[in-house]
């Protein structure tokens, strides 16, 4: 190899190094669901038929295999303003479910929430915005059964336009909502919205 080509190699390496440093210095934000994952973009390619709802039983663990989520579940109530309480912030791998509402797998809308991050870094639902239609959400229940849901849509809403009825409303099937923060971040106001994954029960193990 000539000195000239060695010189070129070093120049290219220097450029790559500069690009890595420059690009890596920009803020990385949690994944945001694409428009293709919204209900408006049409149903999932494989829309699995809804399974018969199970009797109520508290959830103990939730898994999303595609994004390596595997978390214990805690019971959540309502805050004084009527919003859903959230799991303790210190625990980065802990999701919660609305314990006075529908249990995952039972008929109706089961509500699950978890942090996208805490002060230390990414938390249990950091990757929620990367979920896609047809991905699986599995919930182990106290009765020993595992409720398997398929993702119908992943949508993002501004805090002030949160669609209560769509997210929390009743349904005749066994459905699930998984909610976390997302949709843009400002240092002053924090996260400006919520990411919501919608799913329905397709099987029981």
Contact (CB, 8 A) for 87 and 94: yes
Other beta carbons less than 10 A from residue 81's beta carbon: 5
Instruction: Select from 62, 84, 131, 176 the one that contacts another protein (CB under 8 A).
Output: 84
**Tokens matching residue 107:** 């008929």
Q: Which phi and psi angles does 181 have, rounded to 5°?
A: -80, 155
**Interface with another protein, residue 57, by CB under 8 A:** no
The residue (of 11 and 41) whose beta carbon lies closer to another protein is: 11
**Interface with another protein, residue 67, by CB under 8 A:** no
**Interface with another protein, residue 105, by CB under 8 A:** no
Instruction: Select from 54, 69, 94, 116 the one that contacts another protein (CB under 8 A).
Output: 116
Dist. CA 172–CA 154, nearest whole Å: 20
Question: Cα 108 to chain center, whole Å?
Answer: 20
Binding part of the chain for another protein, among 25-33, 38-46, 129-137, 142-150 by CB under 8 A, reads: 25-33
Instruction: Select from 62, 69, 115, 147 the one that contacts another protein (CB under 8 A).
Output: 115
Dist. CA 25–CA 129, nearest whole Å: 22
Dist. CA 62–CA 85, nearest whole Å: 18
Contact (CB, 8 A) for 135 and 151: yes
Dist. CA 35–CA 15, nearest whole Å: 34
CB of 73 to another protein, least distance (A): 15
The residue (of 112 and 151) whose beta carbon lies closer to another protein is: 112
**Interface with another protein, residue 102, by CB under 8 A:** yes
**Interface with another protein, residue 132, by CB under 8 A:** no
Q: How big is the chain by its Cα radius of gyration, in Å?
A: 21
**Interface with another protein, residue 198, by CB under 8 A:** no
Between residue 134 and residue 193, which ones bind another protein under the rule CB under 8 A?
A: 157, 159, 162, 164, 168-169, 179-182, 185, 187, 190-191, 193
CA distance to 59, 60, 186, 198, per residue, from 173 (Å): 18, 21, 37, 12
Q: What residues make contact with another protein under the rule CB under 8 A?
A: 3, 6-7, 9-11, 13-14, 16-30, 56, 78, 81-84, 86, 89, 98, 100-102, 108-109, 111, 113-123, 125-126, 157, 159, 162, 164, 168-169, 179-182, 185, 187, 190-191, 193-194
């Amino acid at each position: 190899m000539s000195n000239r080509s060695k010189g070129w190699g070093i120049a290219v390496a220097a450029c790559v190094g500069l690009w890595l440093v420059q690009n890596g210095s920009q803020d990385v934000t949690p994944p945001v669901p694409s428009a293709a994952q919204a209900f408006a973009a049409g149903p999932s390619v494989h829309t699995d038929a809804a399974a018969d709802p199970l009797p109520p039983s508290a959830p103990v663990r939730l898994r999303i295999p595609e994004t390596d989520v595997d978390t214990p579940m805690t019971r959540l109530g309502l805050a004084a303003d009527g919003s859903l309480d959230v799991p303790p912030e210190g625990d980065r791998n802990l999701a919660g479910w609305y314990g006075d509402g529908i249990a995952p797998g039972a008929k109706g809308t089961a509500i699950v929430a978890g942090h996208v991050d805490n002060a230390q870094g990414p938390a249990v639902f950091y990757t929620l915005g990367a979920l896609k239609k047809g991905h699986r959400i599995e919930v182990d229940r106290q009765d020993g059964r595992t409720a398997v849901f398929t993702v119908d849509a992943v949508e993002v809403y501004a805090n002030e336009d949160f669609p209560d009825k769509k997210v929390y409303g009743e349904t005749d099937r066994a459905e699930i909502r998984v909610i976390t923060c997302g949709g843009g971040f400002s240092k002053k106001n924090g996260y400006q919205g919520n990411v919501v994954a919608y799913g329905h029960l397709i099987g029981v193990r």
